[in-house]
Homo-oligomer: A and B are copies of this chain.
Amino acid sequence: MTRGRPPASGLSTAAAFRLSQYLRCIPANADAGTISSSILADFVGVSDAQVRRDIAALGHLGQRGVGYDAATLRDAIRRTLGIDRKWTAVLVGVGNLARALLRYRGFQTQGFDIVALFDSDVTKVGQTVEGHTVLPHEQMAARVQALKVELGVITVPAEAAQSVADVLCGAGIKGLLNFAPMLLRVPSKVSLVSVDLSVQFEQLAFLVGTARS
């Protein structure tokens, strides 16, 4: 997906993260109206200058004192992040977390086009979960290859995560979203985002401790 990708290919991961956050300040139905850099700055907790720099990197989207056209800004951010289209994805490991993700606002409707669910538990295979039939683990590689699936979401226990990642990478997956609490090793051509919920807890403990010390 390179269409429409602006000069922002040099965008840092941190800047991309801030763009995601700005996006959350723009109502989905904001087809009219403007939004100011100070509102975005206040909402996300960064400086006004930072917001203006981040948005300037997307092209000419606003002028001083007037603010940004909300719909134009939203489209520019979505294009820059590469979420102006659907991404095909499989989800591996159909437990509570997977069920929560499949129901999560925006997970299916906004970006992920989940094309298959897999589990190694024979009692789960064949079940229908949020409209998808759970397929056996053994079919994973063949399906991912046949459907040219782009992204994989890993919600298996930690001890199974690396082997699942290996199968998905071997089958040509381009990116992984890993929820298993461990660091995965993947080939350099595969993008990896890990969400380790205990890391989030540690960050909170650190912040609370710092705030009080």
Contact = CB atoms under 8 A, between A and B. Distances in A.
Interface of A: 1-2, 5, 9, 11, 13, 16-17, 20-21, 23-25, 43-44, 80-83, 87, 95-97, 99-101, 103-107, 110-112, 150-151, 157-158, 174-177, 181-183, 189, 191-193, 195-213
A157 to B, nearest CB: 8
Contact of A212 (B2, B21, B97, B208): B2
Contacts of A210: 9, 11, 82
A25 B200 contact: no
Nearest to A102: B96
A212 B96 contact: no
A177 B38 CA distance: 25
B189 A195 contact: no
Contact of A193 (B17, B21, B203): B203
A174 B208 contact: yes
A205 B81 contact: yes
Contact of A197 (B101, B151, B196): B101
**Oligomer copy total:** 2
Given A193-B203, A204-B191, A209-B5, A183 B21 contact: yes
Contacts of A5: 209, 213
A76 to B, nearest CB: 14
12 contacts: A1-B208, A9-B213, A17-B203, A23-B202, A24-B183, A81-B205, A82-B210, A104-B181, A106-B198, A177-B204, A191-B204, A192-B207
A207 B208 CA distance: 31
Contacts of A17: 199, 203
Taking each of A24, A87, A100, A201, which has the highest tally of chain B beta carbons within 10 Å of its own beta carbon?
A201
A103 B191 CA distance: 27
